[in-house]
Amino acid sequence: MGPIAATKSVFRNYVHMDGRATRAEYWWWAFTHFAITMISMSIAVVSLDPSWPPMVALVNGALFFPFMLATIVPNITVMVRRLHDTDRSGMWFFINFIPVIGAIWFLILLILPSSEGENRFGPEFGDAVDPTIPTPVRSKRQKRPDIYNRTDVSNAYVAAYTTDPRMRRAPEDEPARVGGITDAELIESAKEFQQQRKSEISDYYKNKVLGSLKPDEPSYS
């Protein structure tokens, strides 16, 4: 990963603290940010010379200060993801508030290599993975899809066989299993549950889905 790819990745994950950021992503971004800062400061110092047009300082300031404000958030989030890459919580960021030793300790954490393989924050970036693409992470607050939505009613029947172990079918040549148990009473109970569940879904489909169709809407029954 080079500076351009790292910059794209950082801004693509502007407010995301989930996932991981490799050393290459973090340090190429840090180098790019530092280089832009030094160039802008150099222009500001040189433009103090009366021989330079005043417009140079105005344009430099008009570009530099918005850049610094815009990069405050991604600077923090990429640091947190870099900590995740070493299998450490983002709470380690607050070690910076310890005078002197905190900043040195935090710098060492940012230099540490990636943890091998997948850790609790996501998979390791390998040759087969584009590190510029953010790691997909499911939010704990993500709302579950409505399996009874009439746009895909078949999902309701799929859910009936996946949300409860009693709905699992056994191969024809093997005894039915319910959570690894072959007790006859439990198997009979599972069959009754299947029929009840199918009936509930069928009734819901007929009453809530087909019953709510407009006259010009096609029926999927």
Mean pLDDT is highest, among 4-18, 47-61, 121-135, for: 4-18
Task: State the Cα–Cα distance between residues 175 and 188, nearest whole angstrom.
Answer: 12
Average pLDDT, the chain: 74
21-35 confidence digits (pLDDT tens): 999 999 999 999 999
Whether residue 138 has pLDDT greater than 50: no
Predicted confidence (pLDDT) per residue in 34-52, tens digit: 999 999 999 988 888 888 8
Task: Report the alpha-carbon distance of residue 131 to residue 5 in Å, rounded.
Answer: 8
Q: Residue 5, class by beta-carbon neighbours within 10 Å (0-12 exposed, 13-18 middle, 19+ buried)?
A: middle
200 pLDDT more than 70: yes
Kindly tell me if the per-residue pLDDT of 142 is higher than 80. no
Per-residue pLDDT for 134 more than 60? no
Biggest alpha carbon distance in the chain?
96
pLDDT of amino acid 216? 56
Residue 176 has pLDDT above 70, yes or no: no
